[in-house]
């Protein structure tokens, strides 16, 4: 059984982490590269960014490998505006199952933790940019 001090310390840590993540969101500090996500980090990443694009992929998937450089470039271009993440579906079956990922690559688009769209399949950079610009216009 945990002591009251342990519980209070855990609560303080959680509030501090939430405050830091909110500050990052408010400062528009979306990174310039995709962040590797896991089942345990997925929800916090999606919630802590105004707009988040999460690439659900696998190492054996040819179209996923083809999309990787495009997503790296987009993450750099949209630094400070859109956060990009990568979730390996083979290594993170819980999240993959929860979102019903049946085909890859699948891009999950979040606004403040709420799933707003999904893009299934490999697309040219210009089509993805058009979609991202629409999200920025609508959710900024």
What is the C-alpha separation between 25 and 1, in angstroms, rounded? Answer: 36
What is the C-alpha separation between 23 and 26, in angstroms, rounded? Answer: 5
Catalytic residue among 37, 52, 56, 64: 64
User: Has 56 been annotated as catalytic?
Assistant: no
Alpha-carbon distances, residue 103 vs 69, 96, 120 (angstroms): 19, 10, 7
- Encoded tokens for 70: 């495009």
Catalytic residue among 35, 58, 61, 68: 61
User: Has 61 been annotated as catalytic?
Assistant: yes
Strand partners, 117: 109
Residues classed as catalytic: 61, 64
């Amino acid at each position: 059984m945990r002591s009251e001090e342990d519980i209070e310390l855990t609560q303080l840590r959680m509030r501090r982490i939430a405050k830091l993540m909110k500050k990052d969101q408010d400062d528009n500090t979306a990174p310039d590269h995709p962040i590797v996500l896991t089942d345990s980090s997925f929800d916090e990443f999606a919630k802590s960014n105004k707009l988040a694009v999460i690439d659900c992929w696998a190492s054996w998937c040819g179209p996923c490998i083809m999309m990787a450089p495009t997503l790296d470039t987009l993450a750099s271009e949209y630094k400070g505006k859109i956060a990009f993440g990568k979730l390996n579906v083979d290594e993170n079956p819980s999240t993959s199952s929860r979102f019903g990922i049946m085909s890859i690559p699948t891009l999950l688009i979040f606004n403040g933790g709420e799933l707003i769209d999904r893009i299934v399949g490999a697309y040219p950079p210009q089509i993805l940019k058009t979609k991202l610009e629409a999200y920025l216009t609508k959710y900024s």
